[in-house]
Structure 1
Amino acid sequence: MADTKTLTDHDDIRNWAAARAGKPALADPAPGMPGEEPVLLIAFGQQAYMDTDEGADPIGGLQLVEWDEWFRLFDERELALVVSEDVPGQRDEFHEIVRR
C-alpha cells in the first residue's frame, strides 16, 4: 500500500476531493450498526452525480450534502481523513475517515 497522510484542514480535504471529482455525502448507517447517526463519506463517479432538477432523492441511502454540513459533522465527531500520498500521474481515490 502507498504511503498515506492524514488531513483535518477543511481546505486540504476540499481540494483533495475536488481533484478527484469527489462530493461530500452522508449514508444511512448499516443495519445492525450501533447508533443511528449518518455515515460521512466522499462520493466519486456516478455516486457523486445528483440531478438537482429531480430534487434530493437519496438512492441506496446516499445523500449528497453541502461541505458546510459535512464539515460540521466531521468536526463534531473529531474525525480525520486518511488519504494516499499523491503520486505523479495518478489520482488515487483511497480514503478512510477515522477518529483523530
Structure 2
Amino acid sequence: MASEQQILTDHEAIRNWAAARMGVPAVVDSSAASGVQPLLMIVFDQIAYQDQDRAERPQNAGGRELVEWDEWFDLFDQAQLALVVPPERPGVRDSTHQLVRRDEA
C-alpha cells in the first residue's frame, strides 16, 4: 500500500537512511553505448565491497561501480528520482527500496 511507504528526495534523509543500513551509492552502466544514463543503486552489506575485489573493467561494461554520494545525487536529481522505502519500525532495518520518478511517486 502506498500509504505505508515513505518517499524520500532530501539528500540528507536518503544518506541517513542508507547509512543506517550500511548502504553505499553505486551506478550500473546499463548500456554498451556511451552517453546513456546509468542505473542508480544503493548496495548493502558485503555486496558493497565485492566490487572492490574485481579487476578493472572497461567503461560501459555493465558492471556496478561504487561512487561518492555527490556524484550519485547529481544523477538522482538530473533524473528527477525519489527513493521509496518502507516506514521505520522499531528494531527493524529493512533495506527494501525502489527508485522511481518523482512524478510517479
Q: What's the TM-score once normalised by structure 2's chain length?
A: 0.78
Letter in structure 2 aligned against 1:5: Q
Is the 8 Å Cα contact of residues 24 and 67 (structure 1) preserved in structure 2? Answer: yes
Listed as ranges, the gaps of 5+ residues in structure 2 are none
Give me the whole-angstrom Cα distance separating, in 2, the residues matched to 1:73 and 1:60.
17
CA RMSD of aligned residues (A): 2.6
Q: Does 1:8 align with 2:5?
A: no
Q: Secondary structure at the match of 1:93?
A: coil
Which residue in the other structure is 1:40 paired with? 40
Identity of aligned residues (%): 56
Following TM superposition, the consecutive aligned residue runs of length 4 or more in structure 1 with deviations greater than 6 angstroms are none
Q: Does 1:24 align with 2:12?
A: no
Give me the whole-angstrom Cα distance separating, in 1, the residues matched to 2:84 and 2:56.
29
CA offsets 1:7-58 (integer angstroms, 9 cap, x no match): 0000000000000000000012178xxx83210010112221154xx79846
66 and 55 in structure 1: CA distance in 2 versus 1, 3 angstrom threshold: farther
Listed as ranges, the gaps of 5+ residues in structure 1 are none
Higher normalized helix content (fraction of residues): 2
Q: Please identify, of 40-49 and 90-99, the stretch whose mean Cα deviation from structure 2 is larger.
A: 40-49
CA offset at residue 94 of structure 1? 0.6
Q: Which of residues 52, 66, 69 in structure 1 aligns to 2:68?
A: 66
Q: Please identify, of 1-10 and 70-79, the stretch whose mean Cα deviation from structure 2 is larger.
A: 1-10
Count of aligned residue pairs for this structure pair: 95
